[in-house]
Amino acid sequence: MTPAPFPATPLAMTIRPFQPADLSALYAINQASTPGVGHEDEAEGLAALFAMGTCLVAADEAGTPTGFINLIEPGTLTYPSDNLRWLERWMAEHDTTMLYVDRIAIAEAARGQRIGQQLYEAAFDLTRERGRTWLTCEVNTDPDNPGSHRFHARLGFERIGETRYREDYAVAFYARRV
């Protein structure tokens, strides 16, 4: 399936690696984006996730973070994620390789500027650079996140499975060949 094209991004920005000075802004973006992304009780919890993976930051012309995507390698056992474990089993069953999107979040004021698309483009590039075949993620189905399902479909992700963990929490898993 060919992804639908997106219009050009009107907001001038750069995608760069996470820097410790970004943490406060990224923590605020993360917390404002729940339940679409996981809640963290403290900024240090988010910093620990970034330390386990690779965090790419979208920053405006002034260098202010406007969003981020955090990527985790399979086999990162210090990352206690049932979602990553599900995707690792999928990877093994299909004898393939992948990189996992732990979370992506965009500041409320920056939404609609195609920042998410540009963060994913950088993630696709990084996935290829690391010799991986797929970029994978999950999207909540309970509570449902219909905008995220549409967004991932537009980017060419395929729904590869789903699971319910408890009465009020279920997810769909997506993968895109890079």
38-71 pLDDT, tens digit per residue, is 767 788 989 999 999 999 999 999 999 999 999 9
Per-residue confidence (pLDDT) for residue 58, from 0 to 100: 97
Which two tokens mark 135?
């970029």
Q: Which residues of the chain have pLDDT under 50?
A: 1-10
Nearest alpha carbon to residue 173 among 89, 59, 69: 89
Q: Are 178 and 97 in contact (CB under 8 A)?
A: no
Per-residue confidence (pLDDT) for residue 1, from 0 to 100: 45
What domains, with CATH codes, occur in the chain? Answer: 13-177 (3.40.630.30)
Q: DSSP secondary-structure letter at 109?
A: G
Which two tokens mark 55?
């965090």
Nearest alpha carbon to residue 73 among 18, 135, 6, 119: 135
pTM of the model: 0.88
d(CA 168, CA 4) in angstroms, rounded, equals 32
Per-residue confidence (pLDDT) for residue 7, from 0 to 100: 43
- Parallel, antiparallel, or unpaired for β 98-106 and 65-72? antiparallel
d(CA 28, CA 53) in angstroms, rounded, equals 19
